[in-house]
Amino acid sequence: MLLSLLPLLALGATSFAHPVLEARATVGCSADNVLRHLRGANCLADSLVFCSAYLGLPAITKTVAPLPTASVTVTEFQTVVTTETLIVTNTDVVFNKLKKRCTDSTTTPTSTPISTPQCLATTSIDPSRLSSACGCLTIPPGTVTVTAGVPQITSISVTETDTVTSIVVSTTTKTITASGFVLATPTSACGCNEDEGRGVAVGDIDDDYYRLELDFNIEVYGVTSNVILSSINGLIWFDDTARGNYEFYFNDGDTNGAALPLGSDDLPDVAVLPFWSDLFINGGEVQGIWYQVTGTAGSRVITFEYIVSAWGSKANDYHFTVAFGEAGSASANKVVITYYSVLDGTQGTVAVQHDSANKAVTYYRGGSGTPISAGKTLTFDTTAGTVQAS
């Protein structure tokens, strides 16, 4: 029996809200008038909505997360580069094609108003075919979009620390006690002093000797030379080739206390010993060997000034000058030694010698003679072979 659709829908909303669908035959859906109406080009969109509600199809819930929100707080310094990556997750929904709906249980129908497609409003439909026709449509599940709760705002505190190195230059003043120079314009013979040769020694020096070449000759024992070599250990000589171990001194052994002159293994041929001992220059102290030339051509005098320590000491233990006259002058062949500071006069040899001429004048050596002392001046006359103390 054919019924008008209007009374049918009121009934269908109650009787067919959740119809029981039987499996269709493998030959497919029967394209009857009801199905053709539902599939019509002008009706299909409304039919899908109608049949989904009529059959009571469940909706798919799609949850969309809100975009994350972040705040950046700069807590220190001026330049902060912050890179923040926001990750947005897109969710693709794949719709299942519904070919049938079957259930093996009967539920209590409820009445739900359903909006009828306009294309079916005036059409007479066999009620037994409506559920079957709807079941033959491919109906995508409805989608309900739900936005998740707003997440907590993330506060990011970024601290950039600049390291600043502060260099503090601390200036300290060291006060040292130095002997006053005897020479008015001293020049460093060792080249080891600061402040143009008149300051502190730049380092410790032991057993070294220094060569000086003059533009005039000096004369001792009738031997002339413009080359003078001065040793830290209180020894001066004139032979540029006689260097042996003369920078050292002899405190014991076969030569200790032996009468001068000594042979070439021990001393140069012509040698002056103002204080032959174990002496030392301390770095950081005004110590060293200096020289100065005075007078005019023909009567010039070169004077050496020693300010040194005993080995192992820091004090200015020995301070003396040694003067030589220009060859041919009235002061030639004389050596004048003046002592300003002497720690222990028994610790050095004071003499002059000319070994090849078998000549020597000794003031003190190895317990023989009078130990030298501060304030004394000795004048060695190598022509006369004498020494005078004053």
pLDDT given for residue 110 in this prediction: 52
pLDDT given for residue 232 in this prediction: 93
Whether residue 43 contacts residue 125, with contact meaning beta carbons closer than 8 Å, is answered with: no
pLDDT given for residue 19 in this prediction: 39
Helices (H), the chain: 5-15, 33-39, 44-54, 127-135, 194-197
- Beta carbons within 10 angstroms of residue 57's beta carbon: 17
> Quick check: helix, strand or coil at residue 386?
strand
pLDDT given for residue 349 in this prediction: 92
pLDDT given for residue 275 in this prediction: 96
How many residues are recorded in the chain?
Answer: 390
In the chain, what are the domain boundaries? 3-60+95-146, 187-389
Whether residue 203 contacts residue 215, with contact meaning beta carbons closer than 8 Å, is answered with: no
Whether residue 141 contacts residue 58, with contact meaning beta carbons closer than 8 Å, is answered with: yes
Instruction: Kindly report, residue by residue over 259-318, the tens digit of the pLDDT.
Output: 899 887 788 999 999 999 999 999 999 999 999 999 999 999 999 999 999 999 989 999
pLDDT given for residue 98 in this prediction: 39
Distance CA 280, CA 48 (A): 115
Contacts for 296 with CB less than 8 Å, ≥ 6 apart: none
pLDDT given for residue 257 in this prediction: 65
| Tokens at 36, concatenated | 């053709």
Which residues of the chain carry a pLDDT beneath 50?
Answer: 1-27, 90-107, 251-254
Instruction: Kindly report, residue by residue over 216-227, the tens digit of the pLDDT.
Output: 999 999 999 999
pLDDT given for residue 195 in this prediction: 83
Beta bridge partner(s), residue 206:
280
pLDDT given for residue 101 in this prediction: 43
- Beta carbons within 10 angstroms of residue 131's beta carbon: 20
